[in-house]
Amino acid sequence: MEVREKLAYIIISLLASVAIISVILIFIFIARESLPIFFNPEIKKEANLRVFFFTRDWQPISLIPKYSFIPLIVGTVKVTIVAIVIAFPLSLGAALFTSEFIPGKFREIIKPVIELFSAIPSVVLGFFALMNIATWVQVLFHASSRLNAVTAGFALAFAVIPITYTICEDALNTVPRELREASIALGATKWQTAVKVVLPAASGGVFAGIMLGLARAMGETMIVLMVSGNAAQITLSFLDSVRTIPATIAAEMGEVAFGSAHYATLFFLGLLLFSITFVINYIASTLLERTQKRLRGER
């Protein structure tokens, strides 16, 4: 028994370390490919941190290549905001509804159906957005171009909802029944109980759900590639076409000259995206853990 347990322990730790090591290796690989922007004197002239963050244009294949990240960051932020603004209230509302207000048997139907959304390939979502959402957005907002940040964010919301919903719903569900009973026994209505007891108790988990949805929205490639319009520009309007970081990498990586400044820049862009989503995921998992602890009564 002793030996078996030890063996199981060793195997599990090994598997876990393989996962961790692969993430580290991926990071190192991407980082290594982007190193020339710091150390290669030729490349450093065209592509460096000052160019990335303090110029305005992304035109990597013009005669004088321009490598500003700003329009890409603006684009990514825009579609992410739209996606979260749409997806968050819907996911949280649906999660509250399924966990607090409907009987168990309906919950067992609704939850898997929403979660099934995450099985829709993003290319299909993109296609749907191209055919339908783009038209709705154009009619509704009189947008000059069908493909813009709102269209892309709207389509992204479909990818974000199942994630945020599942995590919120799980967080609400781990709130012990005793807390709900205590609240009801004090004369609270179901609604008051949901909003004033269950939701605050699960707030960390709900927040983690938003964060992971955020990470998904920022990293999603195919949908935005198809429906964002892919114009790298710095504007305030959400109805302008945008170009996001992941879409840029996906669109340009196939044709870039190996070892060029453009190549290193794309990798650096990838590194940036990787780091941001990594940090977001890390914060989310910390929050989740903290909520669970709090609900178990630990500090």
Partner 1 sequence: MNNKLKIKISVRNLNIYYGKFLAIKNITLDIPERSITAVIGPSGCGKSTFLRALNRMNELLPDVKTEGEVSIDGRNIYSPDVDLVKLRRNVGMVFQRPNPFPKSIFENVAFGLRIQGIRDRERIEETVELSLRRAALWDEVKDKLYKSALELSGGQQQRLCIARALAVQPQVILMDEPASALDPIATLRIEDLMRELKEEYTIVIVTHNMQQAARVSDFTAFFLTDEDRAGMLIEYGNTSDIFTMPKDPRTEGYITGRYG
5 or 298: CB nearest partner 1: 298
SS (H, E, C) 253-297: HCCCCCCCHHHHHHHHHHHHHHHHHHHHHHHHHHHHHHHHHHHHC
Q: Please count the residues of this chain forming the interface with partner 1, following the rule CB under 8 A.
A: 25
Contacting partner 1 (CB under 8 A), which of 9, 38, 131, 200? 200
Q: Provide, rounded to whole angstroms, the least separation between the CB of residue 176 and partner 1.
A: 7
Interaction between residue 266 and partner 1 (CB under 8 A): no
| DSSP class per residue in 33-54 | HHTHHHH-HHHHHHS-HHHHHH
By CB under 8 A, the residues from 168 to 197 that bind partner 1 are 176, 178-189, 192, 196-197
Per the document, the length of the chain is 299
Contacting partner 1 (CB under 8 A), which of 112, 121, 254, 297? 297
Q: Which stretch binds partner 1 (CB under 8 A): 3-11, 51-59, 82-90, 289-297?
A: 289-297
Residues 6+ apart with CB under 8 A from 251: 225, 230
By CB under 8 A, the residues from 101 to 140 that bind partner 1 are 103-104
Residues 6+ apart with CB under 8 A from 80: 153, 156, 214, 217, 218
Chain residues binding partner 1 by CB under 8 A are 103-104, 176, 178-189, 192, 196-197, 200-201, 294-295, 297-299
